[in-house]
Each structure stands twice: as structure tokens, then as C-alpha cells.
């Protein structure tokens, strides 16, 4: 994979962005569940943190719960996410918690897995290593498209 984890941040230094996942239930030692790194840029890290928290809130939502009950459940059992060392440029859950708790998320809003850098691959990785033993006349790997 090409090294795309270093980006130019607004302060003029190359930065590798990471997101810290925090267990609000206190079940994890030090409350940090994991740190996810190798984000393309700060915007990518912010989007991941936002979607991760949005999903965590939805997992804590039960039918008929009030906004207050959703927040209480999230603070007791949920997971928060914060962009490490982003200061004021990093997304903060506190800015959107009330809105998240008040209205359920769409599947797209909570799909942090789609933007998880641990799952992103480049075209070379998808193609795999070059096949030096390719026989021009070998059609075993060729798929025929049938049109009706």
C-alpha cells in the first residue's frame, strides 16, 4: 500500500492522524479500547470518529427511549471517539450528542466500517502480484459475458 498516512496539516507539519476509541462503561483498563491510525487526512479521521460515535449511540438506543434516556445509555455503555492531537480542528462528540440522541441515524451516517483505514486498500493490493506464468492462449481465467 502506498504511504498516504502522512498529510499536510494546517499548522505546516506532516501529521499521521489517529482516532482513539474510548469505552464509556469503564470496562477497559484506562478506558481506551483501541487507537485506529493511518487516516488519509484530518477530514477522514473526523468523519470516522463522527460515524463511530453515531453508530455507538444507535446501538444504545431502544425503541421509545427519550433523548435523555439515549444519552444516559450511551454514557453508561457506549464508546466515544476522539481524533488524537487535532486540538480545535478535531471533531468533538460533545458538539453533536444532543442532535444524535434526538434523531435516529441513517445506515449511511453510522457506517464507520466503510471508511475504516484498516479496510482501505489500493488498486495494486486488489490486483495482487503480477502473474509471470500467464499463457496468452489460456482462457481458464477469462469470463464470458452473455447478453440476452
Helix (H, G, I), strand (E, B) or coil at 18: strand
Using alpha carbons, list the distances in angstroms from residue 11 to 8, 15, 43, 98: 8, 10, 15, 31
- For the chain of 148 residues, list the mean pLDDT of each consecutive stretch of 10: 41 78 80 89 97 98 96 96 95 96 96 93 60 58 52
Give tens-digit pLDDT for 84-121. Answer: 999 999 999 999 999 999 999 999 999 999 999 998 76
Where is 124: in which H helix or E strand? helix 123-127
Place of cell 488519509: 40
Predicted pLDDT of residue 114: 95
Extended strands (E) in 31-92:
32-37, 79-83
- pLDDT at res. 142: 52
Q: Round to whole Å and give the CA distance between 114 and 93.
A: 20
- Domains of the chain, by residue range, sit at 6-113
Model pLDDT, residue 144: 52
Q: What is the pLDDT of residue 120?
A: 76
* 62 closest CA partner among 72, 49, 52, 51: 72
pLDDT of residue 143: 53
Q: What does the alpha-carbon distance between residue 148 and residue 146 come to, in Å, rounded to a whole number?
A: 7
| pLDDT at residue 80, as a whole number | 96
Amino acid at each position: 500500500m502506498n504511504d498516504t498516512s502522512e498529510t499536510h496539516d494546517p499548522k505546516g507539519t506532516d501529521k499521521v492522524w489517529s482516532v482513539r476509541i474510548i469505552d464509556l462503561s469503564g470496562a477497559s483498563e484506562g478506558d481506551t479500547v483501541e487507537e485506529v491510525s493511518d487516516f488519509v487526512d484530518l477530514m477522514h479521521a473526523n468523519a470516522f470518529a463522527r460515524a463511530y460515535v453515531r453508530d455507538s449511540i444507535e446501538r444504545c438506543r431502544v425503541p421509545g427511549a427519550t433523548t435523555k434516556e439515549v444519552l444516559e445509555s450511551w454514557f453508561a455503555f457506549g464508546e466515544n471517539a476522539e481524533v488524537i492531537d487535532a486540538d480545535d480542528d478535531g471533531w468533538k462528540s460533545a458538539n453533536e450528542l444532543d442532535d444524535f440522541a434526538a434523531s435516529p441515524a441513517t445506515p449511511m451516517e453510522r457506517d464507520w466500517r466503510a471508511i475504516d483505514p484498516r479496510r482501505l486498500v489500493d488498486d495494486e493490493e486488489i490486483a495482487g502480484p503480477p502473474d509471470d506464468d500467464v499463457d496468452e492462449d489460456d482462457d481458464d481465467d477469462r469470463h464470458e459475458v452473455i447478453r440476452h
